Amino acid sequence: MAVCDSTNLTKDQLDYYGVGGDTPNPQKIPVRKTPKFGEKTIKGPYNSYITLGADRLNSVKDIPLGGGHGPLGHFACGHIDLVAGLSSVDQNKGKITDVPLNPDAFRDAARVYISQMCDVDNQFQCAPGSTGNVTERSCVVAKADAIRLICRDGGIKIISGGDTHNSKGELLRSVPTIDLIGGNWGGELKDILKTGKAALQPIPRGKHLMMCLEAILKNIKELADWTMAFKMYQMEFNKTVIMHRHPDHVAEACGILGAGNHKAFLQGLTGFSDRMKSEGVWLVTEDTYMNQKFTALEASLAGTLDAYINNPLRPGYINSRAVNTT
């Protein structure tokens, strides 16, 4: 069915019709299949529909009116289906059939689907996520090539739970989760990352993460201070060992024999060790290098705290300035 079906239009007229909105745009569009009873469809121009009836979506073998609770004769499954671009995939390929079509979650262009009772994850083939495969529940689904939620000044909130009963009047005993699943992958237990961990993971709380990182950095700083203190004590010990001398019976005997004084030769002590002196020079040089490294480490720790944790104005601040999560 065309929006403007006139055989009297020339090709030039057809090319320019619809430009500016003053004239209709002739085009062949699909026809939505409608049951004889129980469904009201408001058909607009340019392949747009608003349908009120019982829950039904997609094509199912041996069920002419497709899937959903409506074609199965279930109660309490009213739905409102807003569609722009029925069977848009075929329309853009120029393969529009004359056979009336069921609404299709994967071939229609854009849809807002509201249902009193729907197997929403099955109908739209959603990954189960942590919530699992939800069936026989009321739902609101928006699906299109692009979706934007825009607020001017009141903020946007995504809230799960909060009511005491669901749409069936059943008492709610837990708060459902919120899963953000990119690409519809990662929402199943079998979806494992190369790290060996599940792809679907909890979002950390920013302030608690900051507390954790601050504690870690504090411990690193304390460890560095302890290491520095130990190094200083060790250096004092090393210097003592380098210059260490103790009484030597041979030296004392030589002093007594030569001068009648046991300290006349080398003060009666052992001589200095050339190897100890060599190692000592290396230690003093290494100590200077280590002092520089410790100074650089302290500066780096302070810079990390300022860049990522302590200063919200820094570009690397780890918390979002606009998005919060529980």
Could you read off the pLDDT of 190-230 as tens digits, one per residue?
999 998 988 998 888 899 899 989 999 998 988 888 888 88
Q: How far apart are CA 279 and CA 273, in angstroms?
A: 10
State both tokens at 69: 């609770």
CB 47 within 8 A of CB 29: yes
Average pLDDT, integer, range 116-139:
95
Q: Of the candidates 123, 67, 59, which has an alpha carbon nearest to the alpha carbon of residue 97?
A: 59
Q: How far apart are CA 55 and CA 215, in angstroms?
A: 54
H helical segments located in the chain: 11-16, 88-92, 120-123, 206-242, 249-259, 274-304
Burial class (CB in 10 A: 0-12, 13-18, 19+), 171: exposed
Q: Of 56-60, 102-106, 263-267, 310-314, where does mean pLDDT reach its minimum?
A: 263-267
Where along the chain do its domains lie? 31-202, 206-310
Q: How far apart are CA 268 and CA 255, in angstroms?
A: 7
Helices 206-242 and 274-304: crossing angle in degrees, nearest 10, is 160
State both tokens at 237: 């010990």
Q: Which pLDDT score is estimated for 2? A: 43
Average pLDDT, integer, range 38-60:
94
Average pLDDT, integer, range 254-263:
82
Angle at 314 between CA 312 and CA 317, to 5 degrees: 60
User: What's the one-letter identity of residue 210?
Assistant: M
Average pLDDT, integer, range 102-117:
97
Q: Of 17-21, 127-131, 137-141, 175-179, where does mean pLDDT reach its minimum?
A: 17-21
State both tokens at 180: 């953000």
CB 81 within 8 A of CB 90: no
Predicted TM-score (pTM) of the model is: 0.74
Q: Quote the mean pLDDT of the chain.
A: 86
CB 38 within 8 A of CB 51: no
Average pLDDT, integer, range 7-12:
52
Q: Which residue has the higher pLDDT, 249 or 182?
A: 182
Q: Residue 142: helix, strand or coil by DSSP?
A: strand
From residue 215, alpha-carbon distances to 219, 222, 252, 287 in Å are 6, 10, 60, 29
State both tokens at 137: 């529940």
Q: Residue 213: helix, strand or coil by DSSP?
A: helix
Q: Say whether pLDDT at 102 is over 70.
A: yes
Average pLDDT, integer, range 223-247:
79
Q: How far apart are CA 114 and CA 306, in angstroms?
A: 48
Q: Which pLDDT score is estimated for 259? A: 83
**pLDDT tens digit sequence for 158-173:** 999 999 999 999 999 9
Q: Which residue has the higher pLDDT, 133 or 251?
A: 133
Q: Say whether pLDDT at 87 is over 70.
A: yes
